[in-house]
Amino acid sequence: MELLKVENLEVVYNDVVLVLKGLSLSAGQGRITALLGANGAGKSTTLKAISGLLEGEDGEITDGRVLLDGEPVQGLAPEKIVRRGVFQVMEGRRIFQDLSVEENLRCGAFTRPSREIAPGIEAVYGYFPRLKERRRQLAGYMSGGEQQMLAIGRALMAKPRLLLLDEPSLGLAPLLVEEIFEIVKKINQSAGVTILLVEQNARAALAIAEHGFIMENGRIVMDGPARELLSNPDVQEFYLGIGGSGEKRSYREVKHYRRRKRWLG
């Protein structure tokens, strides 16, 4: 069962820049799907196209469809898409710094009836006990990891069916990345939330995902079960930084990388 299906999506910024060039992907109900790719490949744009947040950035879907449970949602206002159960945790966390932790969480529940707020907050504290200690604190004074926890917790308040996570590992120490990813996995398993995870950290992402898509220059260039991708020599070389023979790569190989990249694109 596919909860999300994206078909031949084309996105243009400022009426000129073609960022997504016929991208197709899908996310299975109740699964974690990883979307990997280099900087500028169009990963964030893909998420924003799904959640409707392109609107504020002069971006426009010019072709293709986004289907949620078989129903087209492309071009809807972002607040309508949130009400259908899609919630994007944006890159860089984007928490409301001059609101307290608890106010941030309440904001996440904006589309939910008020009787769900108190139990929702408790559930979030269950996943992230550290947030509970800081509930009255201004969110801006928290560390990066705590802010990321808050951003994910805030998303959970909306009780989404599909959670779009944009680089949750950004700027975090490796141990913290591990912690966050474990919680993401836990959220997926216990609450049954479908997750589409965009990451630079391919190893961490593929470790928790069931399926992976790799994109370059606005297209999907490869996809498959996470385990297969992890053992694929091209993925190992370009995304996991392990050379074919395991030895260190020298500068000469950069040329080789470019050649391979062209081949992939």
Give residues in contact with another protein (CB under 8 A): 51, 53, 55-57, 77-79, 82-83, 87-90, 94-99, 103-104, 106-108, 110-111, 114, 138, 140-141, 143, 154, 158
Beta strands in the chain (DSSP E): 2-13, 17-28, 32-37, 59-68, 71-72, 86-89, 162-166, 194-199, 211-216, 219-225
**Closest CB 88 distance from another protein, rounded Å:** 5
Residue with tokens 């928490």: 95
List all residues 6 or more positions away from 197 whose beta carbon is below 8 Å from its beta carbon.
Answer: 32, 33, 34, 35, 165, 168, 184, 205, 208, 209
Strand partners, 10: 21, 63
**Closest CB 31 distance from another protein, rounded Å:** 22
- Closer CB to another protein, 171 or 225, in the complex: 171
Look at residues 73, 93, 101 and name the one whose alpha carbon lies nearest to residue 85: 73
- Closer CB to another protein, 139 or 206, in the complex: 139
**Closest CB 53 distance from another protein, rounded Å:** 6
- Closer CB to another protein, 139 or 204, in the complex: 139
List all residues 6 or more positions away from 168 whose beta carbon is below 8 Å from its beta carbon.
Answer: 89, 148, 151, 152, 180, 181, 184, 197, 199
- Closer CB to another protein, 107 or 221, in the complex: 107
Give the strands of the sheet with 71-72, arranged side by side: 17-28, 2-13, 59-68, 71-72
- Closer CB to another protein, 71 or 247, in the complex: 71
Phi, psi (rounded to 5 degrees) for 255:
-60, -45
Q: How many Cα atoms within 13 Å fall on the side-chain side of residue 132?
A: 11
**Closest CB 145 distance from another protein, rounded Å:** 12
- Closer CB to another protein, 80 or 186, in the complex: 80
**Closest CB 55 distance from another protein, rounded Å:** 8
**Closest CB 134 distance from another protein, rounded Å:** 14
**Closest CB 54 distance from another protein, rounded Å:** 10
| CB 61 within 8 Å of CB 53 | no
DSSP category for residue 248:
P
- Closer CB to another protein, 111 or 200, in the complex: 111
